[in-house]
Structure 1
Amino acid sequence: MGARVPHAGTDRGGWPAVLLYERRRPDAVRKRPDAWRFAVATVCFGAFMGQLDASIVTLTYGSLRTGFGAPLAAVEWVSLAYLVTLVALLVPVGRLADARGRKLFYLYGFVVFTAASAACGLAPSLGALIGFRVVQAAGAAMLQANSVALVTTSAPREKMRAALGVQAAAQALGLALGPTVGAALVATLGWRWVFGINVPIGVVALVAGHFLLPRTRERSPVPAFDWWGLLWLSTATTALLLGVSAASGLPLPLWGVVLLFAAAVVAAVAFVVRQARAAEPLLDLALLRARAVSTGLVGALSGYLVLFGPLVLVPTVLGRAGVSELPTGLAVSALPAGFALAAAGADRVVPPSATDRHRCLAGAWVMVAALAGMLVVPVGVGWSAALLGLLGLGLGLFTPANNALVMRAVPTAAAGTGGGLVNMTRGLGTALGVALVTLALHLSPAGGGAPAARGGAVLLLAAAGVALLAAWLGPRRPQRATG
């Protein structure tokens, strides 16, 4: 259980206090009964930026290949380097934030992310751009590892699910606007402004966070950082994502793919052994013994696999069927739109007696129904939009309730670690959704969209089934927040 630590130095003047300590909010904000809403709204800036960046960068691939004279396999590292870094850093950054202050790390995350975005927009070469993307991912990890923790520690217990729903809606909005905004920027101002758009948003968010985010009340001191744990975790996640990407079409011989997967398994085992023996582990494995945490993380991974997989599957399938880009984009936007609608509005239509487990089960069944429909309906814009909208509704009902189950089972002092775990599984789910669907498309016949649609839908249906099973195996009694 974490300790309530005094905020020594947080209200001192001078630049050391501003840079090293969390400063309290103005009394005009702090004493308002709805002050938690301002904190949640500020966190939504980071949620929006993270998902906007995730979906907007793929629109730059064509311009990057032309501008730098690079092959697609090299350009893909603009996304891959970001994702690998993000997944590797989420848990350790969350652990450090639990000890040093979540508000402090969140604000520094905006600084790093915004500065790196500006550097990406000015990158003179593809190698430099990939390097700046690694730095940008470090800032994104500082944001994402603390976003769920800041929401759950700011909102009243009875408002936690609704607050997480608003955050999920902000993510879905960023995801939905990414392709449209990215296409418009690339077509008018050029690919560099795809990164430049983050700068004004980041500056506004930094100022808002300074005045509206609460200080960390409970912390878990970390006498020594587990660098070996970080090394094994980074190796395992990097090797896994590279192996899946290579199996999905990256130019790498079979022995290299096998070697990557073997390295991922060895590093994962070494990480678990290290965490069990370390005096101050990077990840307290006791957290995973709580059924709500373990099943919830499986659900989070499966849910984001189902969310991002169709973003690769549907455009490719419709393209093979001869559908142009504009109607394809409109059809795909139905998925995040449905997600945002359900995440933000579920509390208005779902009976108050429905527990988070009930919501997870209902959302998972809707996901299964939508993906089963993709196996039987003909390929077309109308059916795709309708089924993707239904899938988004299921995901928007499932995801906030699933996150609430996880975070209620995590002690308040370890909220940053718990949030980092949730976001790490989201990142893995995102990577697996893109890579596995790409693999299914790679193995499907080149002509015609129906075989590819069925193969990808079967894969996504299996993931939705795992989410349904995780919800069924989750806690059956309403949880109390863990102190």
Structure 2
Amino acid sequence: MTLRERLLDERERPEWVRASPYSWRLAVVAVCFGAFMGQLDASIVTLIYPSLEKEFGERVATVQWVSLAYLLVLAAAMVTVGHLSDLLGRKLLYLYGFAVFTVSWAACSLSPNLTVLVCCRVVQALGAVMLSANSVALVTLAAPWEKLRTALGVQAAGQALGLAVGPTVGGVLVSTVGWRWVFWINVPVGVAAILLGRYLLPRTVERADDARFDLRGTAWLAAAVATLLAGVSVFSGLPVPGWAGLTLIAVSALGFAGFLRRESRAPAPLVSPALLRERHIAWGLLGALAGYLVLFGPLVLVPLALVRHVGEDEMRAGLLLAALPAGFALASNLQERLLPRRWGNSVRCLAGAALSLTGLAGLAFAAPADGWLVAWLAVLGIGLGVFTPPNNTMVMAAVPAHLAGTGGGMINMVRTLGTALGVALITLAFHLGGEGTWNSVLPPLPLFVLMGAVLLMGVSAVWSSRTAL
């Protein structure tokens, strides 16, 4: 066997794992490590914004690119890697992704300045996209159909656990040993995840030799997303003229138009126009984007408001913020037991949107000292946890089985876009919104942005339903 063949050889699981009646559960556990680390990364990094502002003397509009550069790569490459995994093997790319992801964590911790840190995050994102693009597809293919919603709920709970641990651990580390340990702490977890994936994940496909990639489509998408986020950042406080921001947003619109035109003609498109013409898929993806915007927006808003305007330290901010992803984790994992079985996916999504809107309305009047901030963050997390698994299930149910990797990549791409918009739009709204009003420490303008996204979640629940309510 040549070196190339060895590198592209997707190893099968041991016989004792394949023969186990719990083999699909073991595979889901292995995938949950990737889900955990990916969301841990997203939530833990937002806690270091104030520290990076102080150490490197940069504005928050610049510091946010520690997150945005990472998310940009994920959004641009997600579907491409999903397509690649359909051809080469999802397990193969998943394990390689973990290796790149883990090494990059160590590199981030050694960064001497903000520029190097952002570059390391770009490399890290290349590994993360190999994890994220395969997670939903691996769960979908490993789990029996009747257990799919449960399996996706467990995977979502793994993500939520990473989100919940991130603020708590991040706040403690930043307040005690410094922001660099936020990156070091994940290296041993990554090594363990590689070993588990090697022995628990199934071999997915035989290697194909006719791989075709839409490099032009990838370039169009990357340019469109990058200019959109850069344009929003200009209005968030970057020392750049306003006309430059408007120009970037206009270029982004042209980029998205060019991307859609390219996809309609590409022999192997990143996003199949036929899939997007399917109402259930298109509206379901829009709902997933809005859901992750609402999930990640507060992860930026709450630490900035508490640390900058109230004078709380990062440790307390992280402890308070953990209520949001903790609620998400509980709801996504326990909804099968607690919600009526007769409720279909669309009804569950509507219930999740209603709970999310209730949580945001409560946050508009919550102060950190009276405990209500924690309570309403938990309600918001529960609503998002109720919404996400059935939303993802509706999308994957409408995607043909042979395009499961591409469908999973599309879900993860819109999740990433939602996350990026959550960071960028909430940073912009925070910059424009000023101090908190009423009885709340949180400025009203970012909350209004989040409420608008929740309403979009509710609309998507109706239009993405495959069956009547």
Distance 1:128 1:441 in 2: 26
Distance 2:310 2:55 in 1: 28
After superposition, give the CA deviation of every residue in 1:149-206 in whole Å (9 maximum; x if it has no partner). 1111111111111111111111111111112212332344433322222221111111
Contact 1:374–1:453 (CA under 8 A) maintained in structure 2: no
2:264 aligned residue: 276
1:425 aligned residue: 414
Moved more, 92-101 or 182-191: 182-191
Verify: 1:400 aligned to 2:389, yes or no. yes
- Name the aligned partner's letter for residue 414 of structure 2: T
2:212 aligned residue: 224
- Name the aligned partner's letter for residue 463 of structure 2: L
How far residue 380 of structure 1 moved from its aligned partner, in angstroms, is 5.1
Moved more, 122-131 or 58-67: 58-67
- What is the TM-score normalised by the length of structure 2? 0.92
Moved more, 73-82 or 461-470: 73-82
1:3 aligned residue: none
1:335 aligned residue: 324
Verify: 1:144 aligned to 2:132, yes or no. yes
Distance 1:122 1:97 in 2: 31
* Unmatched runs of 5 consecutive residues or more in structure 2: none
Distance 1:50 1:188 in 2: 24
Verify: 1:468 aligned to 2:463, yes or no. no
Describe the shift of the 1:160–1:371 C-alpha distance in structure 2 as closer, same or farther (beyond 3 A). Answer: same
- Name the aligned partner's letter for residue 446 of structure 2: G
How far residue 268 of structure 1 moved from its aligned partner, in angstroms, is 0.7
Contact 1:302–1:466 (CA under 8 A) maintained in structure 2: yes
Describe the shift of the 1:173–1:438 C-alpha distance in structure 2 as closer, same or farther (beyond 3 A). Answer: same
Moved more, 311-320 or 74-83: 311-320
How far residue 14 of structure 1 moved from its aligned partner, in angstroms, is 7.9
How far residue 433 of structure 1 moved from its aligned partner, in angstroms, is 1.8
Verify: 1:365 aligned to 2:365, yes or no. no
* Unmatched runs of 5 consecutive residues or more in structure 1: 1-12
Distance 2:407 2:244 in 1: 34
Describe the shift of the 1:318–1:292 C-alpha distance in structure 2 as closer, same or farther (beyond 3 A). Answer: same
Distance 1:74 1:433 in 2: 16
Distance 1:453 1:315 in 2: 12
Aligned length: 467
1:80 aligned residue: 68
Distance 1:165 1:99 in 2: 27
Q: CA RMSD for the aligned pairs?
A: 2.5
- Name the aligned partner's letter for residue 397 of structure 1: V
- What is the TM-score normalised by the length of structure 1? 0.90
Distance 2:468 2:6 in 1: 41
How far residue 82 of structure 1 moved from its aligned partner, in angstroms, is 1.1
Contact 1:117–1:198 (CA under 8 A) maintained in structure 2: yes
Verify: 1:170 aligned to 2:189, yes or no. no
- Name the aligned partner's letter for residue 435 of structure 1: A
- Name the aligned partner's letter for residue 467 of structure 1: M
After superposition, give the CA deviation of every residue in 1:397-450 in whole Å (9 maximum; x if it has no partner). 100110111111112221121111111111111122222222222222447565
Distance 1:241 1:375 in 2: 27
After superposition, give the CA deviation of every residue in 1:53-92 in whole Å (9 maximum; x if it has no partner). 1121233345445555655554433222212112111111
Contact 2:306–2:317 (CA under 8 A) maintained in structure 1: yes
Contact 1:339–1:395 (CA under 8 A) maintained in structure 2: yes
How far residue 234 of structure 1 moved from its aligned partner, in angstroms, is 0.7
Contact 1:320–1:448 (CA under 8 A) maintained in structure 2: no
- Name the aligned partner's letter for residue 172 of structure 1: A
SS in 1 for 2:322: helix
Moved more, 312-321 or 367-376: 312-321
SS in 1 for 2:240: coil
Contact 1:113–1:138 (CA under 8 A) maintained in structure 2: yes
2:430 aligned residue (423, 433, 441): 441
Distance 2:468 2:24 in 1: 23
After superposition, give the CA deviation of every residue in 1:303-328 in whole Å (9 maximum; x if it has no partner). 11111122233344555774734554
Contact 1:331–1:381 (CA under 8 A) maintained in structure 2: no
1:194 aligned residue: 182
SS in 2 for 1:354: coil
Describe the shift of the 1:195–1:90 C-alpha distance in structure 2 as closer, same or farther (beyond 3 A). Answer: same
Identity %: 54
